[in-house]
């Protein structure tokens, strides 16, 4: 195991990480997008993005796009490279505000978090569409880990923290249990060649209806490219 530092809240850090990784000339068979914050007070990343959208979504969007060449080179017809992105059931109540992705008009921690998780599902479906059209041996899937007992809840109201502390053993998954579907998506032979899936408890299930809106997927992708400064056409090249 080798550690390389990458701050998903910094576009500069992401680009530096990708340069360091590429310099090693290592294959890349699995990419798991799992960083995140939840219900943080209104604040911005180093690049001026609202933190939920910038870290949870845009950081992973840029990282994935910059690593696509390595993933394509590593995937084969019989063993596709795999991209697994961790979303949340919260995406079911999320709304994507294309005219206000930074939540500047009216900030709600819950709304911003849900929007970032919906964006990840839309991103995954659009990514798989482009990978398929490109003929790449790479698959992209999105995972709902469930309600997991981690430090992600440190910004919730204190009453919720008390309830969580009292009931976690009954209603919350352990981190190991929460990781099981991600691991399944990353290594299971059953997922070989399967992309564009929403997975929960190691099973394919239906995401929010709005996530299947191809026009919304396309518009979010185009806007995301502008925000992180990459070409909208890059993935289409052979």
Q: Using CA atoms, how far apart are residues 60 and 18, in angstroms rounded to an integer? A: 12
d(CA 11, CA 228): 7
**Distance (Å, whole) CA 197 – CA 10:** 28
Residues facing residue 44 across a β-bridge = 50
Question: Could you tell me which residues come within 8 angstroms of residue 113 by beta carbon, excluding any fewer than 6 positions away?
Answer: 38, 39, 52, 56, 90
Which residues belong to the active site?
Answer: 113
Residue whose pair of structure tokens reads 């921690």 in the numeric block: 109
Nearest Cα neighbor of 172 from 151, 191, 158, 188 is: 151
Q: Beta 81-86 vs 138-144: how paired, if at all?
A: parallel
Which residues have a Cβ under 8 Å from the Cβ of 137 and sit 6 or more positions away?
72, 75, 76, 77, 79, 80, 81
Neighbours of 152 (CB within 10 A): 14
């Amino acid at each position: 195991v080798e550690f390389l530092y990458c701050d998903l809240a910094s576009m500069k850090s992401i680009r530096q990480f990708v340069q360091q990784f590429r310099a090693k000339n290592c294959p890349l068979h699995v990419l798991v997008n799992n960083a995140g914050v939840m219900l943080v007070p209104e604040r911005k990343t180093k690049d001026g993005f609202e933190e939920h959208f910038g870290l949870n979504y845009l950081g992973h969007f840029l990282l994935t796009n910059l690593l696509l060449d390595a993933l394509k080179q590593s995937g084969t017809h019989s063993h596709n490279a795999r991209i697994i992105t961790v979303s949340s059931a919260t995406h079911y109540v999320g709304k994507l505000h294309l005219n206000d992705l930074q939540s500047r008009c009216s900030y709600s921690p819950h709304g911003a978090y849900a929007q970032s998780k919906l964006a990840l599902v839309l991103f995954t479906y659009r990514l798989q569409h482009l990978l398929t059209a490109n003929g790449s041996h790479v698959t992209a899937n999105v995972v709902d880990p469930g309600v997991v007992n981690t430090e992600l809840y440190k910004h919730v109201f204190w009453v919720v923290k008390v309830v969580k502390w009292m009931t976690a053993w009954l209603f919350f998954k352990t981190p190991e249990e929460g990781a099981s579907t991600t691991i399944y998506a990353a290594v299971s032979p059953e997922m070989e060649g399967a992309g564009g899936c929403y997975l929960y408890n190691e099973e394919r299930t239906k995401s929010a209806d709005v996530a299947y809106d191809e026009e919304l997927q396309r518009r979010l992708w185009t806007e995301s490219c502008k925000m992180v400064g990459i070409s909208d056409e890059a993935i289409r090249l052979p």
